[in-house]
Amino acid sequence: MAFKARVYLTSGPEKSDARYIGEIDVTPRPVRNGRTVFTHAGKIETGHVEAVEPPDWDKTGTIPTIHVTLSPAR
């Protein structure tokens, strides 16, 4: 099942390079320190969820904002 989230994406350890890529569908349910998969610029991306705000988004019905660090390409 896909979940709508506002995604900020970073490609490396520098958190200052995070960029907003939009409100997109992610799977699975976004949780802090979890993994997520989504499509960006026509490409399937996998990343590590660094943060989810607000933490109770699922109880309040709010669309969460997540900060994702891309996983290195294999």
Output the tens digit of pLDDT for each of the chain's 74 residues.
899 999 999 877 666 788 999 999 999 999 999 999 999 999 999 999 999 999 999 999 999 999 999 977 65
User: Where do the domains of the chain lie?
Assistant: 3-70
Q: Supply the pLDDT for residue 53.
A: 97
SS (H, E, C) 14-44: CHHHCEEEEEEEEECCCCCCCEEEEEECCEE
Residue with tokens 């891309």: 70
Task: Say which CATH architecture domain 3-70 belongs to.
Answer: Roll (2.30)
